[in-house]
Amino acid sequence: MRQTVLYLIKLYQRYISPYKGFRCAHAALSKRDSCSVAVSKIIARRGGLKGYQDIKKQFLRCANASQYLEDSKRKDKKPRKKDNPYYCCLDMPVGCCVLPWDISSGN
């Protein structure tokens, strides 16, 4: 199962990610691994079930980074409407105060 998931991530990285038009917010902000690279490392090291909490933390860091980048981009602009479909990342309940570029977190 682990190898199948890693293979699917590699397919995503090769055939979908380069063409989607944006990059991982965590990677853009922190200059570290993208979510797909980080998650594949977690799965290779711990597996999907044991690494679930680490995977969840990675996506929360990415959501925080996305929110930070959007907020800094819109400082001088009027706020987006909540009904905008591209606003969905910012509406997610993050529940995490860790800054995405916090190196001391060990990730």
The number of CA neighbours under 13 Å toward the Cβ of 81 is 3
pLDDT score recorded for residue 41: 97
Alpha-carbon distance of 96 to 83, in angstroms, equals 24
20-72: pLDDT as tens digits? 888 899 999 999 999 999 999 999 999 999 999 999 999 999 999 999 988 88
80-91: pLDDT as tens digits? 555 544 444 444
| pLDDT for 4 beyond 80 | yes
**Is the pLDDT higher at 25 or at 92?**
25
Segment holding 10, helix H or strand E: helix 2-11
pLDDT score recorded for residue 1: 86
Segment holding 14, helix H or strand E: none
pLDDT-based confidence at 16, cuts 50/70/90? very high
pLDDT score recorded for residue 79: 56
